[in-house]
Structure formats: structure tokens, C-alpha cells
Amino acid sequence: MPEHSHRQIPISVTVDVDEGIAWLVMYLNTMPGIRTLASCQGTIGEGGPKPYRPQVMVTWAHEAAFKRLQIEFDLSQVSRRGSWCYVHPRQTK
């Protein structure tokens, strides 16, 4: 896609999201500088040989947005370039 100088703005769109993670996708999309890319409610409690946690893949536009993610959520697979990661609801111990 060619580079352009047009100003871009965020807009709301309708997407199909797993019911069990929709609340988190909606919340993350209210955070300035955060964009959600993919999500899955996970399989914990649903059985299967490889259960995994609910997750939302996100990108961020600035360091302050990433810092907020670190404070509010558990993060995994943070990219080496620091441009995307998976966000999980915090696990209580």
C-alpha cells in the first residue's frame, strides 16, 4: 500500500468476537493509542488437550499506551520491536 499524507481517524466497526472476550475487546478499543487485531475467549474450562487463556492481540501507537496495558493486564509474547502483544485478563492468585 503506498504511503500517503492523509490524516486518519479511528472509527467504530462491527466485528464478530467470541462472546466470552467481547467485554475486553470493547474496553481495549476505548483506550487511546490501542488497536485490537484478533481475539479468542480461550479454552480454559472447556477441556481439550491444550487449554489456553482468553487473549486479545493489540498494537499501540505510543509508549504511554503500552505502559497502561502493563498496569491493567497480563501481557504475553510482546514483540521484539515493541509494537504488538497478547493481552489477557489479570489472573488472581
Q: Does 93 score more than 70 pLDDT?
A: no
CA distances from 38 to 2, 7, 24, 59, 92 (A): 24, 24, 12, 10, 24
pLDDT digits (tens, 9 = 90+) for 2-47: 567 788 888 888 999 999 999 999 999 999 999 999 999 988 666 6
- Give kind and range of the element (H or E) at residue 22: helix 22-28
∠ Cα 90 92 32 (to 5°):
20
Higher pLDDT, 24 or 93: 24
pLDDT of residue 46: 67
Rounded to an integer, what distance in angstroms lies between the CA atom of residue 7 and that of residue 14?
22
Q: What is the pTM of this model?
A: 0.82
pLDDT attached to residue 2: 59
* Model pLDDT for residues 53-80, shown as the tens digit of each residue: 899 999 999 999 999 999 999 999 999 8
